[in-house]
Structure 1
Amino acid sequence: MTMKIKEAADLAGVSVRTLHHYDEIGLLCPSRTTESGYRLYTNEDLEMLQQILFFKELGFPLKKIKEILNDPLFDHIEALQLHRKALLEKRRRLDQMIVTVEKTIQHKEGEVHMSNKEKFEGFDFSQNPYEQEARERWGDQAVDQSTRKLAKMSKQEQNEWSADMNAIYVSLAALRHHSPASEEAQSAIKEWFIFLNKMGNYSLDAFKGLGQMYVDDERFTKNIDQFGEGLATFMRDAMAVYADNNK
């Protein structure tokens, strides 16, 4: 059984343009074409498309997905099992976030008391959902170093690492109405720079670029500003000052 490109796109929930792009970069080339040049996708092609979309959901860039799928040792079943584990973990974290949101609503309405610790239950930055953007902007080295170090940590160490990260966010949020160039702000943002470099190898330029992405990408902004409105912008400005002053 084969499908034309429009049928395959509709089935997978992607655009025809996306499938054209995958073909152009050699990520997913349809196995067959008609005499008139129309692309035809086989069941095997659709299985490959499913794998691509799973990897995209987990934040892998297309270049990396292509490398993985072209590896002669790639095991489809093993990959699906890993996808399942990752998605279940993602669902667990989302479920916890929903509980935190519901409890926060009740707290705001005066129905329950919520401790400061409970307000941040479910927040977990140990797995960066924007790994794709980081890899595309600055290459794999810093991100891969962070991933390897995190993978070697025990669950307790990962929790401590996440708690340290959240503590820095809270500290910076308390300073967000100060000048980003102030001594207090620069001291706090230095802690952030040191913290990031414990896990990876971020240059001053990469550090400055990361701060800009906190504002350019609304998903970053939304997550960071949960610690205090305007924090993402404050961090961007403080990171830029720190990078420029320490070159």
Structure 2
Amino acid sequence: MKSSIGDSEEYMTVGEVAEKTGTTVRTLQFYDRKGLLCPSAQSKGGRRLYTYKDMVRLHQILSLKSLGFSLNEIKNHLSSLDTPDEVAAVLSKQAADLRQKIQRLSEAAEEIDALKAEVIQMQSVDFKKYADIIVNLQMKNEYYWLIKHFDNKMMDHIRKRFTKESGEVFIRGFNKVCDQILELAANHVSPESEDAQRLAKAFWNMIVEFTDGDMSMLPQLMEIGKFEGAKDGWKQKQAAVNAYIEPALDVYFTKQGYDPFQEE
């Protein structure tokens, strides 16, 4: 704290600062004890006094606290406010942090709305599936809505087969293959072509990877495009993928001498 000064309208008591900033005297005293915000001066009568610069620093502390920073982290974020550039830098950092938090909150709100829609469509309360939907929403998995259609056997298999990380890798790979299939279809490449057969093999390998070789899951997977509640854009994309990959798979299976739909 600085040396004693005479009372001046440029200085404020702890009560005045608390009133102006909407905080409490107890909070300001706590920040003082923690070394976060010590009064800049002391009157001749021993009263601890704050300046408007202290109020700016208090605003910085409260903003960082609202973002979830601990008091120790706030100490490390506090910087000097002696020049316009320093003040501007601090405000820019606070604005950036707030925008990030707004983005996170916006994404969380979208996830909640999406989950609510799924909950309404499900026929019964199933918190395991709710949790699965939340995880897939956080993964940005556009197929999250399929979860409500899968039976318990399928969901237990998925939970055991994939972690969040491996699930994200699988989804990226599957989307990439589907996009390549659509590109061949758009260019009217024959399903019997070398490129089409390469993608047929890749597509089938992903099915095998997903099921871990359990062909009893195929009937349920084949129903995916028929599920109610799917977005029109997704259904159109899936229909286009299926329309091209099915004949390509027929050629692939014939060449392999293999028919997975006849196996148990």
Larger radius of gyration: 2
The two structures have a TM-score, normalised by structure 1, of: 0.41
The two structures have a TM-score, normalised by structure 2, of: 0.39
